[in-house]
Amino acid sequence: MKRYPHPTADQFTLTAVLHALSDPVRLNYVQCLANLGCEQPCGAIATPVAKSTMSHHLRVLREAGIIRIRTEGTQSLTSLRWEELEARFPGVMSAVLKAVDSTDAVGKK
């Protein structure tokens, strides 16, 4: 069973969060995760990149505090750290995700 280092909420930095969300592939993944609303295996969300690349992106999101990853069997389950993010940086995630919904900012980099 793999263990991943997750930062605590007080270790989040705004610049790391913004940087993590500034990549189209990552932003799209986060948006899907938010829309689905519950824990998802990495593979459940379609992406245009190789699995090794996706593994890298998920690490960036995890290290920024945006997602939590735990393993169950062979799969890695990812979930948004919504409450912690909203508590630390109120309104940032919700505004960003609303903006994603209302624009085509994702997909074509």
Partner DNA sequence: CCGATTGTTCGACAATCATAAAACAATATT
Partner DNA sequence: AATATTGTTTTATGATTGTCGAACAATCGG
Q: What number of chain residues touch DNA (CB under 7 A)? A: 29
Q: Residue 54: which of its own copies, DNA, none does it interact with, CB under 5 to 8 A by kind?
A: DNA
Is 60 a binder of DNA (CB under 7 A)?
Answer: yes
> DSSP string of 20-73?
HHTSHHHHHHHHHHHHH-S-EEGGGS--SS-HHHHHHHHHHHHHHTSEEEEEET
Question: Interface residues for DNA in 70-89 (CB under 7 A)?
Answer: 72-76
Q: Residue 101: which of its own copies, DNA, none does it interact with, CB under 5 to 8 A by kind?
A: none
